[in-house]
Structure 1
């Protein structure tokens, strides 16, 4: 029996449906209960009774106790993450048919995640996968299972540099000497080693029209090239590209826009590069 009280949690119908799907996939039964403390006490008593019935002593007893304690903690982690995912869903969300193999792989990777902040990230992944099947690959799940909080925070920080073009694209300003502004090369190297980005000497966006549009956290940017020459219709974006894993992580990393960075980039681009003009369409 789960300690999750569905009758008190105020879950939406899609949230309840997600819990049912998880239960079907990994054999965990979620039932309403209003007696959490009593249920936990009964569980502890049953565990002690089980060990005593097995007539174990010494090393064997300690091994069984360790196993039961570890699995109980894993169960708690699974339920916390599942409940967070369910709470992320509203009545307007549509739940897709998540593959059971994906659910099993998901919980294998996150069952040992104890940190609340990291559990929140895993909850977002599960809810997003529930809304759009195939949003997260197993490679992304594997990477997340190895992240520490500092690395997760770095990914969140990096998200402020990501714009929406034909695909998600980091736009990292560089000074006249090629040094990055706002993020260090060592931070980029960490992201590269994690598989979130691919570093290079310099990347750019190529456009097929003289007038085009970009978006930064919902803010439209008008891109106007001054020359009627398609070979000049490019915009430098800096030394990093998102990997497929990085693109998936940007959906749930919790980044916030940095309007000071945005305004400075637009101003510097318009000042230094006469062949292109950027105009913010809204604030």
Structure 2
């Protein structure tokens, strides 16, 4: 059986340690699990014992069921761990803080039953992210993702293309996500139930910078003598929604951005421009002024 984990970075070593903890191999005296044989052998022995017992009792169908079930679970975990390996770069340093044992137990108990390839990618990102920075993903987030279908996940990805201020989803009737989709996201636990508004305030003869997401900033200009206020309907991502947002590349929705710009121009803005954000840290960002594009 080929290697599941080759220890060549600190991140991979920590991943190996976690899988070893979960299988119980570290507690049995092995300081670090480095390959698939460790995980596979533990599950193989347990499965063989269960199958042998079923056959002794004349339950051949039960034995076959156990074999099929355990093979599927083992393969699911191996696929996710294998993909998690790709999330670490050569020589990457990760946090020395250990990953919570209860978190590990919850994670692996869930991913044993995750067979969809796209969902496996998300779970692999979560595992790698938690190894790099423990407490990045709560157990509530694990349970939320566990209950998501592939279609639910796809809807969440689409909804993130309607971001404003990097944590609000625009629900404006004319150009935001639909009420039905907002309700679905609320039921999933990724979007708050409370309907709110966000107001862009642009002083007279001035402008107002606003981040849409971590890659795009828009600026509203006001050439008039009066303050302009543009108010749109929003809902805020829950803590779980914000954690899952970290798994998704920024979704650029030019139709939404153009509609938001048109809306604000209808309220009196003289022009609206778009810039690329080149560095994002928390709520502080830098952008390319020379690449400003009028919308």
TM-score, normalised with respect to structure 1: 0.75
TM-score, normalised with respect to structure 2: 0.73
Structure of greater relative contact order (alpha carbons < 8 Å, 6+ residues apart): 1
* Unmatched runs of 5 consecutive residues or more in structure 2: 26-32, 277-290
- Mapped to 2, the partners of 1:49 and 1:103 lie a distance apart of 25
Report the CA distance shift for 1:185/1:24 in structure 2 as closer, same or farther (over 3 A).
same
Q: State the match for 1:84 in structure 2.
A: 83
- Mapped to 2, the partners of 1:241 and 1:281 lie a distance apart of 24
* Unmatched runs of 5 consecutive residues or more in structure 1: 176-180
Number of matched pairs: 261
- Mapped to 2, the partners of 1:127 and 1:15 lie a distance apart of 8
Q: State the match for 1:27 in structure 2.
A: 23
Pairing partner for 2:259 from 249, 264, 267: 264
Pairing partner for 1:242 from 229, 237, 241: 237
What SS does structure 2 have at the residue aligned with 1:94? Answer: coil
- Mapped to 2, the partners of 1:233 and 1:94 lie a distance apart of 48
Greater than 6 Å deviation, 4+ residue runs: 46-50, 206-210, 225-229
Report the CA distance shift for 1:264/1:102 in structure 2 as closer, same or farther (over 3 A).
same
- Mapped to 1, the partners of 2:134 and 2:199 lie a distance apart of 29
RMSD: 3.5
1:153 positional shift:
0.6
More divergent stretch after superposition (112-121 vs 64-73): 64-73
1:1-283 equivalences under 5 Å are 3-6=2-5, 13-27=9-23, 30-32=33-35, 51-52=51-52, 56-59=56-59, 61-91=60-90, 93-96=92-95, 97=97, 98-163=99-164, 165=165, 168-175=167-174, 181=175, 183-205=177-199, 212-215=208-211, 216-223=213-220, 235-254=230-249, 256-270=251-265, 272-274=266-268, 278-282=272-276
- Mapped to 1, the partners of 2:48 and 2:13 lie a distance apart of 35
